[in-house]
Amino acid sequence: MGQLRADGRVLHVDLQGETIRARTGSMVAYEGKVDFKNAGMGGGGGFRAALKQRVAGEGLSLMEVSGAGHVMLAEDGQYVTRVELNNETLTVEADSLLALTQGLQTDVKFIGLSNLSNGQGVATTVVSGSGEVALLSDGPMIALSVAGDEVFVDPQAYVASQGNLQMNLISGVSWRTFVGEGNGEAFTQRFTGQGTVFLQPAERGA
Amino acid sequence: MLQLDQTWTAATLPENDNVNPYAFSVALNGSWFISKGAMIAYYGRITFEAIAAFASREAWVAAQFSSPIYVQDWVVANGQGKLVLADRGFDVNSYDIDAGNLTIKATNLLAFDAGLELKQSIVPGFVTLIGTGKFLASSNGPVIFKEPPFRADPEALLGWADCPAPSHHHDAAWMAANLMSAAQGIFGRTSGEERQFDFTGAGVILLQSSEMTRSDPATLRLIESQAAVLPVQQKQTLAQRLTAEVQQSQQQQRR
């Protein structure tokens, strides 16, 4: 049992003196003696992270939540999913990160121009260490496992990936056919390796 | 409880069933027609091809997909694997047609198997599926089923099965107020609720529980193709009216 508990569109946080980091402005209610303060530069990731965020436009804005009590977090009625990390890395778009517990570090990773197609940044947020992360999704999250095989995902539905995964972008002949009027998928993300890919049942910007 | 209680694999993803109320997993073994943008993920060996390209090799496609204005919005998914489909987080449901026909709003149709034939409905913005097979449709909120006689709001209407195509019904008060302007050829004064679709006969009507629709890129193509029958003078009149309307709405935006 952890500190974070996802309940539909709300995240419950139990604090007994610990500090967690949560998306700025996501607190909807709390009881007990709890302090909220800005996590500082780079969402608490330090100066280097702040600089990289500025360059990459990966806007991660977090607050530090500490004390003893019960906090409820939510964002725009999006669904909340709790993910446990055990000395692993989780790659997530900054917009989909709701909260993370102590013992986890955040950093910004450049992923090149590959994600330009979907209007997301050229960089993504990497969470590493051991602890719990709460993710946001438009509709209930779908987790797809990758274990030696491969899975193909629409970048507009992609939210996060966990584990030892390689991602490359496919824009093969079969994919060009999706380009055209309306919101066709110009690219697809191909994941191989070992891990889990998280996606939402809705396309961003659709 | 809608919780993340499972991590799916290619083997455990449902076979032609919902993953959750907003996503559906198709066990693909052959060909399905897929609306562009509906695919959110897949496992397996699946190719996606434009209908026109696919039809040049497989002649049956041209016979199954009989609607030139929608061809650009659809692809053929071919191969073996699991295909996950979703639409803007709307409810996704599957329906089976057994030697029957069903007409559905084109923008709410996500996919259908190759046992069904698609034709353009007489009602603009709607397509008819004929044959035996499965199709997927999205709705904003759960689907409501009704039987005629029934009048439906055009935005909430998803489709109908077995009953004759609907006729327009205009609110009596609106008609009285607009008869004069109608006689002068000035339409377009709408409060939003004065026009309904009127269903008669025996059958089933499908409604979504909201009036949220997606803009249909095919509407423009449809109107364009219909405008082609107008003589040049009438085309000019239409062009002038449209220009005036665009200018008017631009001026309103500025204010």
Q: CA-to-CA distance for B26 and B85, rounded, in angstroms? A: 8
Q: Is residue A15 part of a domain?
A: yes
- With an 8 Å Cβ cutoff, is A81 touching chain B? yes
Residue A155's pLDDT band (cuts 50, 70, 90): confident
Residue A133 within any structural domain of the chain: yes
Contact B2 A79 (CB under 8 A): yes
Residues of B in contact with A181 (CB under 8 A): 72-73, 217
Any domain includes A205: no
What is the pLDDT averaged over residues A76-85?
93
Q: Name the DSSP class of B222.
A: H
Which among A6, A201, A206 is the nearest to B20, CB-wise?
A: A201
Question: A205 versus A56: which is more confidently predicted?
Answer: A205
H/E run at residue B13: none
Tokens coding B204? 């089933």
Where is average pLDDT lowest: A23-32, A113-122, B113-122? Answer: A113-122
End-to-end Cα distance, chain B:
48
The answer to whether B70 and B219 have CB atoms below 8 angstroms apart is: no
**pLDDT, mean of each 10-residue run, chain B (255 residues):** 68 92 94 89 88 75 80 86 92 92 92 92 90 93 90 89 83 66 51 75 88 75 83 90 88 80
Segment A68-72 shows an average pLDDT of 94
For residue B45, give how far its alpha carbon lies from the nearest alpha carbon of chain A (Å): 10
Distance CA A52, CA B151 (A): 58
Q: Write a three-state SS string for B94-150.
A: EEEEEEEEEEEEHHHEEEEECCEEEEECCCCCEEEEEEEEEEEEEECCCEEEECCCE
Is A11 among the domain residues? yes
Select, from the ranges A122-126, A185-189, A191-195, the one with the highest average predicted confidence (pLDDT). A191-195
HEC string for A156-186: CCEEEEEEEEEEEEECCHHHHCCCCCCCCCC
Residue among A140, A129, A166 at smallest CA distance from B6: A140
The interface predicted TM-score of the complex, written ipTM, equals 0.78
pLDDT of residue A46: 61
Could you tell me which residues of chain B have a Cβ less than 8 Å from any Cβ in chain A?
A: 1-4, 6-10, 13, 19-23, 36-37, 39-43, 47-50, 53, 72-73, 75, 84, 86-89, 92, 217
Within a domain: A114: yes
Distance from CA of A40 to the nearest CA of B (A): 31
Q: pLDDT at position A51, please?
A: 61
- B20 and A81 within 8 Å at the Cβ level: the answer is no
Ranges of H-type helices in A44-183: 46-56, 173-176
CB contact under 8 A, B23 and A147: no
Lowest average pLDDT, out of A56-60, A81-85, A101-105, B171-175, goes to A56-60
Residue A144 touches chain B, beta carbons under 8 Å: yes
Which chain A residues are within 8 Å of B69, Cβ to Cβ?
A: none
Nearest to A140 among B20, B41, B75 (CB): B20
* pLDDT value of position B225: 80
CB distance from A175 to chain B under 8 Å? yes
Cα–Cα distance, B124 to A176 (Å, whole number): 29
Would you say residue A10 lies in a domain?
yes
Question: Per the CB < 8 Å rule, is B88 touching A199?
Answer: no
Between strands B150-152 and B39-50, the pairing is unpaired
**pLDDT value for A52:** 61
Q: Does A199 touch chain B (CB under 8 A)?
A: yes
- A177/B20 touch (CB, cutoff 8 Å), yes or no: no
Integer Cα distance of A112 and A79 in angstroms = 29
Return the DSSP state at A50. Answer: H
The pair phi, psi for residue A82, each rounded to 5°, is -100, 130
Tell me, what CATH number does A58's domain have? 3.60.160.10
**Is A204 within the bounds of a domain?**
no
Please report, in angstroms and rounded to a whole number, the separation of the first and last CA atoms in chain A.
37
Domain that holds residue A192: 4-199
Set of chain A residues whose Cβ sits within 8 Å of the Cβ of B10: 149, 151
A144 CB neighbours in chain B (<8 A) are 7-9, 13, 41, 43, 84
Query: d(Cα A96, Cα A60) in Å, to the nearest integer?
Result: 10
Chain-chain contact of A81 with B49 (C-beta, under 8 angstroms): no
DSSP state of B71: G
Cis before residue B154, ω within 30 degrees of 0? no
Q: Are B92 and A201 an interchain contact pair (Cβ–Cβ within 8 Å)?
A: yes
Distance from CA of B131 to the nearest CA of A (A): 27
Count of domains for chain A: 1
Q: Beta B7-8 vs A142-153: how paired, if at all?
A: parallel
Chain B nearest C-alpha distance from A85 (Å):
15
Q: Which range, A47-56, A72-81, A148-157, has the best average confidence (pLDDT)?
A: A72-81
The confidence score (pLDDT) of residue B193 equals 61
State how far the Cα of B206 lies from the Cα of B151, in Å rounded to an integer: 12
Residue A206, domain member (yes or no):
no
Q: Is the pLDDT of residue A189 over 90?
A: no
Number of other CB atoms surrounding residue A2 within 10 Å: 11
CA distance linking residue B12 with residue B104, whole number of Å: 31
Nearest CA in chain B to A150: B43
pLDDT at position A177, please?
46
Nearest CA in chain A to B77: A174
